[in-house]
Amino acid sequence: MTTLPQLDPLLPEDTPRRLASANTGSDWVFAQVSRTIGASVLLITGSIGAFLAWQSVPTFKRYGVSFLTEQQWQPEADVLGIAAVLVGTLQIATLAILIAFPLALATALYISEYAPDGLKPTLVSLVDLMAAVPSIVYGLVGVYLLMEHGGPEFALWLHQHLGWLPFFDVPTSDPSAAIWDQTRYIKSAFIASIAVAAMVLPMACAVMRQVFSQTPQGEKEAALALGSTKWGMVRTVVLPFGRGGIIGGTMLGLGRALGETIAVLLIVSPAFEIKWSITEVGTNTVSALIAGRFGEASASQLSALLTAGFVLFMITLVVNSFAAVVVNRSRSGAGTDA
């Protein structure tokens, strides 16, 4: 028979010990110091966004919605609008991502799954190095290599064979002329986007590779042990696990491509019109507009430029927030504890 132990009535009743949750001593200092750092960073970064928004108010008051729909940027005629530069920005960024995404994904997969083990650290370093190459160097390569050797010829070939697509049509040039007009095919959104693609590719690739490398080894081995081929393993384990990283890395690259300045400024010739053709000379982006016009700008024009920057910031913000939501929803951010 089970007997309950007799409790000594004289002893005080057992109460659960209180766990100390308050920080003591050095921990309190640590918490306060890091909270102060966090608050100051919040103050610095938040004030920039607030400042940009506050500076945009007068511009929107003066020009209203036409600031977003007007194509021309003529301060002397008091006509300011960013429709053309916005479209140019989106064109270049989208094209750059279209070029960079498959290459970045392939490189990340190659490094994490296919490369021989001895080669992996070198490849990781090379991709990081590619991310470290300054954007102006890509701009130089775009101007003096792509634009002089191959770029215009390829644009002409696209015009001749795929000219029925509005993207590759160059209306001001005759593709079958005996001597083709090379000047119509240079300084275009197409060449700028190749340079920008080379710039955003390693960023996207680094994010993807990082996530792929966190794939649980056990799940990969389970797939292989069940008889999967390597690609089957990649398709069913690595890619689903890394989906957040793939989308997040791509969006991060898109955000960078939207804001890229110097390579675009070096390559394109500024033009303020919305056009379908990506291989024709002349386009412009918001950031190139700011870099080109800030010097001679009066106070009100500076405010307009800040507004243009604010709109660009808002677009990249939406893109990045979308990326953050996707990454947080996926398993990739869940940490490495099983």
Partner 1 sequence: MSTTTTPPPRTARTQLPSREDLPPAYPRVGVGAPTAEERFVRIGSWAAGFALAWILTQRVLPLGGLPWLIVAGFVCGLLVTAVTTAMTGSRVDVADRLMASIITGGAVVVLLALATTITFTFLEGWRPLVHLNFYYDDMAGVGPRDPLNKGGIGHAILGSLIELGIAIAITLPLGVGTAVFMVEIGGRFARLVRTIVEAMTALPSIVAGLFIYVTIIVGLGIPPSGLAASLAISVMMLPIIARAADVVLRVVPGGLREASLALGASRWKTVWHVVLPTARPGLATALILGVARGVGETSPVLLTSGAASFYVWNPSDGVMNSLPLYIFFAVRSGEPLLIVRGFGAASVLLAVVLILFVTARLLARPRSNRSRSLRRTRVRPDHKSVETP
Q: Which residues inside 211-230 make contact with partner 1, applying CB under 8 A? A: 214, 229-230
Q: Six-digit token pair at 291?
A: 């870099």
Name which of 270 and 275 has its Cβ closer to partner 1. Answer: 270
Question: What mask of x and - would describe binding to partner 1 in positions 178 to 207, judged by CB under 8 A?
Answer: --------------------x--xxx-xx-
**Coil/strand/helix, residue 270:** strand
Q: What is the DSSP string of 73-100?
A: EEGGGTEE--HHHHHHHHHHHHHHHHHH
**Cβ closest to partner 1, residue 147 vs residue 275:** 147
Restricting to residues 237-296, name those near partner 1 by CB under 8 A: 255, 258-262, 266, 286-287, 290-291, 294
Please give the residues from 28 up to 87 whose contact with partner 1 meets the rule CB under 8 A: 29-31, 33-35, 37-42, 44-46, 48-49, 51-52, 55
Question: Can you tell me the distance from the alpha carbon of 9 to that of 6, in angstroms, rounded to the nearest whole number?
Answer: 9
Q: Is 166 or 230 the residue whose CB approaches partner 1 more closely?
A: 230
Beta-carbon contacts of 173 under 8 Å, excluding residues fewer than 6 positions away, are: 159, 180, 181, 184, 185, 280
- Determine, following the binding rule CB under 8 A, whether residue 135 of this chain makes contact with partner 1: yes
For partner 1, which is the closer residue by CB, 231 or 276? Answer: 231
Nearest approach, Cβ of 255 to partner 1 (angstroms)? 5
Name the residue nearer to partner 1 (CB basis): 66 or 161.
161
Query: Are 54 and 219 a contacting pair, CB within 8 Å?
Result: no
As a whole number of angstroms, the distance between CA 76 and CA 79 comes to: 8
List the one residue out of 85, 107, 78 whose CA is nearest residue 200: 107
Q: How many binding residues for partner 1 (CB under 8 A)?
A: 99
Determine the interface stretch with partner 1 among 58-66, 120-128, 169-177, 271-279 (rule: CB under 8 A): 120-128
Q: Which residues contact 146 (CB under 8 A, 6 or more apart)?
A: 191, 194, 195
Q: Of these, 53, 90, 103, 274, which contacts partner 1 (CB under 8 A)?
A: 103
Extract the tokens encoding 45: 């970064």
